[in-house]
């Protein structure tokens, strides 16, 4: 058994920022499924929002205007008190990262450069070329190492231990040895990321299975707003690698097969810089109505950077150029990029408050695995990197306050019982089994992309729900051929699949029940937003029979009354 005052699960930006904020006062252990610098935070390209007012076009920007854009972008489902917290903290967080050595791109006067992003009234997205997540993650990882945070890299958390309304820690597997280890802590913080890989077409890394979300749910922690899934408008066909919104922020065009900048037809004022949910629906509509391009790798439209010129592309978007050359054999200096919408982000997640605390004593969550809710029904580009670091810092502050106020000692017996349960589960999975976990996951993700995607209908989602229920039954017969535990990724994938099934179940149920269109949730059979009946959060918790129980929670409205969302 390992013991820490505080246990952090997840080595991305949220987990690292929480660890850095706590390690001076407490014994902190950080468990990461991969080496922290391989966390999915590193894939974020475009930037981090903050109303610094450095750009000549953003001199009048403020945290209040940032908050309004965030709330409007959320289609008024964000909790406005939480959005205010995030936007107030934005500028101090960016300057803190700058002072810790993060190499932001600069304006000629030496201040941090800012570019326009969709749904924003001002250019407020701070960036480092198109590798912003990369530089932020390495900056925080270097600080965590310098401060002596105890890191357990390539450890897989198999279960969360909650008993009698308290969290006692987790049971984890050291994938290098295959040993199951109970980890005891007074406070446990999840920064485990999103659930993109429950979809076939996703910009997310393969590690983004949502297992942390499903794990918390199975342990008794409620989930919030799981039906709200963001699709990024521009992912590269074939691989669905992200083509950052920074491309459009720098002036790229979206073109259909008739050479039209088709966004003129839908949102003539915002054009390519409309919010992501709107741009994704516009692209999908163009393809559905025959104005897209056909390709063996899939239907697509063109993202055209050619008019920006080689110098600007190489200075502002070098990573995008390299990805296009390496993965699809085109140079965006000379050819347009074939793009399609792909699942990108999880607005829903573990239900926590503005302090990142759940209803379970001693259990906290932040970043994409959580739902504070600052994004509501649709996240604005540039607010995700901001959320990860802001709420990593806020979680550290909250945990410090709670532990100094006197936290009960975690118990060993519940952890040992949970370890035995995980051991039994592994024994079953490494016994004879007809179902292969990777095939089951592939089938499920194809159904999610096809039937619970950008456009939704009751009929399609009921079919998806039936497939999900069948998949849950089939999971009983899942088996992996090798009993070895050393670096057995098929085994850990099989363990994660159980949690993915629960994530999918709550997502489909929430989408079926919400009979309106709001943000990224668009129902063809209910195309209008309905504030009278649906201005509320969806809460899903596991019932005594193991089935989801759905309830609701009021949206916190402070200063911005809901109104029609126009751009």
Active site residues: 276
Task: Return the structure tokens found at 294.
Answer: 């056909």
CA angle 68, 71, 74 (to 5 degrees): 145
Cα(152)–Cα(492) distance, integer angstroms: 16
CB hemisphere CA count around 12 (13 angstroms): 30
Cα(70)–Cα(238) distance, integer angstroms: 32
Neighbouring residues of 448: CB distance < 8 A, sequence distance ≥ 6: 198, 199, 200, 464, 504, 507
SS (HEC) of 415-466: HHHHHHHHHHHHHHHCCCCCECHHHHHHHHHHHHHHHCCCCECHHHHHHHHH
Given a contact cutoff of 8 angstroms between Cβ atoms, the answer to whether 494 and 436 are in contact is no
How much of the chain is helix, strand and coil, in % rounded to 5?
A: 40, 20, 40
Q: Which of helix, strand or coil describes residue 533?
A: helix
CA 247 to chain centre: 21
The answer for 103, left when phi > 0, alpha when psi is -120 to 50, beta otherwise, is beta
């Amino acid at each position: 058994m390992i013991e820490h005052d505080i246990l952090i699960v997840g080595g991305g930006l949220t987990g690292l920022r929480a660890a850095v904020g706590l390690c001076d006062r407490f014994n902190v252990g950080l468990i990461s499924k991969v080496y922290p610098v391989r966390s999915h935070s590193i894939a974020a390209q475009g930037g981090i929002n903050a109303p610094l007012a450095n750009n000549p076009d953003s001199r009048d920007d403020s945290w209040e205007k940032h908050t309004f854009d965030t709330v409007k972008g959320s289609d008024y489902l964000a909790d406005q008190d939480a959005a205010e917290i995030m936007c107030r903290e934005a500028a101090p967080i960016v300057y803190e990262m700058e002072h810790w050595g993060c190499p932001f791109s600069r304006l000629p006067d030496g201040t941090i450069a800012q570019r326009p992003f969709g749904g924003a009234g001002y250019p407020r997205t701070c960036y480092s070329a198109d590798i912003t997540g990369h530089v932020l993650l390495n900056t925080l990882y270097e600080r965590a190492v310098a401060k002596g945070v105890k890191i357990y890299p390539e450890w897989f958390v198999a279960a969360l231990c909650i008993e009698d309304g308290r969290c006692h820690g987790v049971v984890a597997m050291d994938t290098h040895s295959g040993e199951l280890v109970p980890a005891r802590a007074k406070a446990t913080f999840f920064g485990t990321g999103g659930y993109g890989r429950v979809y076939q077409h996703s910009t997310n890394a393969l590690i983004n299975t949502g297992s942390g979300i499903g794990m918390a749910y199975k342990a008794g922690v409620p989930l919030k707003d799981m039906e709200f899934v963001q699709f990024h408008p521009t992912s590269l066909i074939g691989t669905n690698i992200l083509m950052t919104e920074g491309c459009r922020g720098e002036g790229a065009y979206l073109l259909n097969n008739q050479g039209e900048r088709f966004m003129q037809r839908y949102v003539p004022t915002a054009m390519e810089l409309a919010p992501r949910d709107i741009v994704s629906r516009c692209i999908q509509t163009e393809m559905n109505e025959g104005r897209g391009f056909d390709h063996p790798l899939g239907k697509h439209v063109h993202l055209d950077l050619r008019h920006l010129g080689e110098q600007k592309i190489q200075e502002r978007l070098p990573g995008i150029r390299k990805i296009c050359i390496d993965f699809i054999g085109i140079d965006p200096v000379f050819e347009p990029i074939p793009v399609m919408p792909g699942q990108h982000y999880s607005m829903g997640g573990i239900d926590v408050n503005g302090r990142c605390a759940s209803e379970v004593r001693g259990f906290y969550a932040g970043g994409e695995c959580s739902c504070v809710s600052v994004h509501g029904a649709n996240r604005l580009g540039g607010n995700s990197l901001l959320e990860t670091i802001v709420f990593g810092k806020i979680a550290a502050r909250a945990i410090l306050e709670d532990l100094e106020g006197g936290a009960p000692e975690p118990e060993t017996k519940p952890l040992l019982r949970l370890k035995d349960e995980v051991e039994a589960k592994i024994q079953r999975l490494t016994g004879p089994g007809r179902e292969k976990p990777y095939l089951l996951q592939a089938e499920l993700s194809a159904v999610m992309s096809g039937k619970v995607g950008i456009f939704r209908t009751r009929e399609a989602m009921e079919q998806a729900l039936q497939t999900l229920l069948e998949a849950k039954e089939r999971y009983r017969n899942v088996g992996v051929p090798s009993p070895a535990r050393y670096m057995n990724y098929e085994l850990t994938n099989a363990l994660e699949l159980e949690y993915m099934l629960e994530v999918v179940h709550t997502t489909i149920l929430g989408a079926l029940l919400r009979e309106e269109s709001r943000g990224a949730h668009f129902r063809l059979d209910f195309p209008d937003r309905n504030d009278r009946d649906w201005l509320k959060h969806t809460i899903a918790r596991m019932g005594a029979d193991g089935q989801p129980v759905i309830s609701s929670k009021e949206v916190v409205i402070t200063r911005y009354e809901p109104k029609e969302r126009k751009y």
